[in-house]
Amino acid sequence: MLVESQRDNHLRSILNRADLVTPDGMPLVWMMRSLGEESQDRVAGMDIFETACKLCQEKNVSIYLIGSTKSVLDTMEARLHKEFPDLKIAGLESPPFRPLSNREDEETVERINRSGAGITFVSLGCPKQERWMEAHRGRLNSVMVGVGAVFPVYAGLQKRAPKWTRELGLEWLYRLVQEPQRLFGRYFNTIPPFVYLAVKQLSITRKPQRRLVFSKGLRKGF
C-alpha cells in the first residue's frame, strides 16, 4: 500500500485523510524504528480483527462484514459464533466484483445503517477497500476498518504465516509460496521500489527532531 500511494496521488490523499493507518509489515516497522519510533510494533489486520471482535462482544457492539465471497462469510460467521458466542453480527455482505450502480450502492449503505452495526469490517483488498471507505466516509453510521485479506485467512482458506516468520519480516515469502501466480507480479512491482524509497528516506531524514506520526496517515515524501 505504501508503494502504491507513491504512484497514486488519490490513494495517497485517502491515506493522509484516514483517522488511523497502521503498519502491517515488519519492513515498514523497521523503517519507523530507524526514523525515531523505537517502540513501534507491527499492527496486523488479523490482530486488529480478532481484538476488535473481542472488545465488541464485551461492549455489546455489533459488527458488519463486507467483502470476499458468500462461502467465506458463512465460514467466518460459524467460527465467530464459536469463538465469540455473544458477539452480535449485524450483517454479512459479499459485493459483486463489478462496480455497483448508484442504486445498488445506496441500498448497501441503507442495509449497513439499518443493521445498527458499530463497526464495519471491509475486506476488499488494497487499494479497493481504501477507495471504498473513502467513498463512504460520512455516509455510514459505523466505524469502517479495512482488514485486507483477513476474511479468507480467518475462514481457513489460507494459512496465516507462523509467528516467527512474521517477526523476521518474511511473511511476504510465506504468502508467495502459497499463492505464487497471484502474488509474484505484485511483489516484483512493489518490493524493489520499497527498498529504493527506504534507502532514500534514511539518507535524507535521519534527524532526531523529525518523527513519524502514523495515526494520521502516511507522511508525504516517503
Domains and CATH numbers, the chain: 2-210 (3.40.50)
Element (H, E) at 51: helix 45-59
Q: Which residue has the cell 448497501?
A: 108
Please tell me whether residue 151 adopts helix, strand or coil conformation.
Answer: helix
pTM score: 0.81
Cβ pair 74, 91 in contact under 8 A: no
Please tell me the predicted confidence (pLDDT) of residue 147. 95
In the block, cell 534514511 appears at: 202
Q: What is the mean pLDDT of residues 76-89?
A: 98
- Which of these ranges, 22-26, 113-117, 167-171, has the smallest mean pLDDT? 167-171
Count of beta carbons in the 10 Å neighbourhood of residue 48: 19
Angle of helix 9-17 versus helix 128-135 axis, rounded to 10: 60
- Sign of the C-alpha dihedral computed for residues 188, 190, 193 and 199 taken in this order: negative
Q: Distance between CA 174 and CA 129 in Å, rounded?
A: 23
- Tell which wins on pLDDT, 206 or 122: 122
Give me the chain's average pLDDT, please: 87
Whether pLDDT at 171 is above 70: yes
pLDDT over threshold 80, residue 206 = no
Q: 190, exposed or middle or buried, with CB in 10 Å at 0-12, 13-18, 19+?
A: middle
Distance (Å, rounded) from C-alpha 215 to C-alpha 162? Answer: 27
State residue 149 phi and psi, 5-degree precision: -95, 25
Cell of 57: 462482544
Residues whose CB falls within 8 Å of the CB of residue 208, separated by 6 or more in sequence, listed in order: 36
Give the separation between CA 114 and CA 116, rounded to whole angstroms.
Answer: 5
What is the per-residue pLDDT across 95-144, written as a single tens digit (0 to 9) for each? Answer: 998 889 999 999 999 999 999 999 999 999 889 999 999 999 999 999 99
